[in-house]
Amino acid sequence: MKETKPQLQNPISQPPAPISILVTGGAGFIGSNFIHYMIKAHPNYIIINLDKLTYAGNLENLKDINRMDAGFKEQDLVGGGFENKIQNLKHQIQYPISDIQQSTRYHFVKGDIANTELVDYIFERFKPNYVVNFAAESHVDRSIENPKIFLETNVIGTQVLLDVAKKHWLASGKWKEGVKFVQISTDEVYGSLGPQGYFTEKTPLDPHSPYSASKAAADLITKAYFDTFDMPINITRCSNNYGPYQFPEKLIPLMINNALHHKKIPVYGDGKQIRDWLYVEDHCRAIDLVMQKGRIGEVYNIGGHNEMENIQIVNKICSILDELYPISKNPTSNMQHPTLKSYKQLISFVADRPGHDRRYGIDATKIHEELGWQPLVDFDEGIKKTVEWYLNNQEWMDRVTSGEYMKYYERMYSWR
């Protein structure tokens, strides 16, 4: 009689089944923070980062990721067998930083979310369970200068991702188990508030800038895939984020960078516009919760009830810098501005942004009640950590502000 060996079963030593997430725009500010967060929070997750590396995408934001390898091999996830088929796409797949390439939990693909063939290839090869779509042109001032690219990436790019996901996730009228498309949107789609009230998920969309209009369009096409095809989706709408790795065209890092170089700190209009600021890691945790537990088809607002006028933020940054890196210790200052005593002296009110939204304020009751989310980092702690991060990473700032950035800066601020 043939003996059958008993199967060894040791559930403790079995790693959980890998789950793969296609993160788009993962080399940008929030996307790179999200990848750091997810790699730490979920040892069984594999991340594929598809990013075009525009001026806002920086692989340096992810350079330490390969040290967090849980030991999955690519074969655990990849069926294989289509290498030949995609030979002609090979030239589009680049792994510019070798240490990132080594990680089996993290894969970088350089490319455009609007490239159907490439996105299709990624789905074939990595079989993602989730798509989290951060990729976007994200800066209001740039959208005023050149709206077209905002429609190409934010609207068409989102539609391409939705369509390819549908192709791979829907078979014989049934959606695969455990898949979801998470569209990362913004509170700016709701338009501008007066002094009272908050944006809820039911507030009608009323975007004003080409950026927010393109994000609203992306939300609507995402919702249309749910309404029409039952596609498992969520949309998140978050308030303004701050934290490490934010490109210095946005308020907080721009002000820090200018202050450190003793350049004018340009406050638009009267500086009394209000934004509702959230530390980026709190946003990442909220996205993770929505991805795993959000009710299919729902929109979730994310915000920390932390409304502040721009001028208050700028004053706070200057006070922190005065404390952590006083003018007297900043060697370049005395030569340029011998009378400078505080960074606040650099504040300068400049021409306003056209169509400037006055106030954003998020009501995040729904995500709190349904998913138990609330922000953990209060603003005083978060802004101090953030200023410290930029002080400790001045080389990062110098690198991202060289070259093209200087031309942009001239275009945006020379006339103000």
Catalytic positions: 187-188, 211
Minimum gap (Å) between residue 270 Cβ and ligand TYD: 10
Rounded Cα–Cα distance for residues 54 and 27 (Å): 9
299 binds, among ligand NAD, ligand TYD, none (CB under 5 to 8 A by kind): none
CB nearer ligand NAD, residue 50 or residue 267? 50
Residue 157 CB, nearest distance to ligand NAD (Å)?
Answer: 5
Instruction: Give the nearer residue to ligand TYD in terms of CB position, either 140 or 321.
Output: 140
Query: Is the CB of 242 or the CB of 343 nearer to ligand NAD?
Result: 242
- Nearest distance from residue 125's CB to ligand NAD, in Å? 17
Tokens matching residue 81: 């067998």
Residue 37, binding choice from ligand TYD, ligand NAD, none, Cβ under 5 to 8 Å by partner class: none
Residue 126, binding choice from ligand NAD, ligand TYD, none, Cβ under 5 to 8 Å by partner class: none
Q: H-helix or E-strand containing 72?
A: none
Minimum distance between the CB of residue 259 and ligand TYD, rounded to whole angstroms?
12
Question: What is the distance between the alpha carbons of residues 181 and 170, in angstroms, rounded to a whole number?
Answer: 13
Closer by beta carbon to ligand TYD, 273 or else 306: 273
Query: Which residue do the tokens 């790795």 mark?
Result: 245
Tokens of 228: 């029409």
Q: How far is the CB of 7 from ligand TYD (least distance, A)?
A: 57
Residue 184's binding partner among ligand TYD, ligand NAD, none (Cβ under 5 to 8 angstroms by kind) is ligand NAD
**Residue closer to ligand TYD (CB basis): 18 or 25:** 25
Task: Please give the residue whose beta carbon sits closest to ligand NAD in the complex.
Answer: 28
Please state the closest distance from residue 341 (CB atom) to ligand TYD, in A: 23
Question: Which of 241, 401 has the CB closer to ligand NAD?
Answer: 241
Taking the C-alpha atoms of residue 399 and residue 364, their distance in angstroms, rounded to an integer, is 36
DSSP 75-103: HHH-----TTTTGGGGGG----SHHHHH-
Beta strands in 145-219 (DSSP E): 170-171, 174-175, 180-186
Residue 272, classed as helix, strand or coil, is: coil
Q: Which residues, including other chains, have CB under 8 Å from residue 410's CB and lie 6 or more apart? A: none
DSSP 393: T
CA distances from 416 to 7, 140, 266, 267, 273 (A): 74, 16, 9, 10, 18
187 or 281: whose CB is closer to ligand TYD?
A: 187
The answer to whether the beta carbons of residues 160 and 154 sit under 8 Å apart is no
Minimum Å gap between C-beta 186 and ligand NAD is: 4
Choose among ligand NAD, ligand TYD, none what residue 254 binds, the Cβ cut-off being 5 to 8 Å by kind: ligand TYD
Give the footprint of ligand TYD on this chain (CB under 6 A): 140, 240, 250-251, 254, 266-268, 273, 275, 310, 353
Amino acid at 225: Y
Distances 270 to 71, 311, 345, 350 between C-alpha atoms, Å: 54, 8, 16, 8
* Interface positions with ligand NAD (CB under 6 A): 24-25, 27-31, 50-54, 56-57, 112-114, 134-138, 153, 157, 184, 186, 215, 238, 240-241, 247
Residue 200 contacts residue 301 (beta carbons within 8 Å): yes
Q: Which does 127 bind (CB under 5 to 8 A by kind): ligand TYD, ligand NAD, none?
A: none
CB under 5 to 8 A by kind: which of ligand NAD, ligand TYD, none does 273 bind? ligand TYD
Q: Which two tokens stand for residue 133?
A: 């779509």
Q: Could you give the C-alpha distances from 205 to 216, 220, 305, in angstroms and in order? A: 7, 10, 20
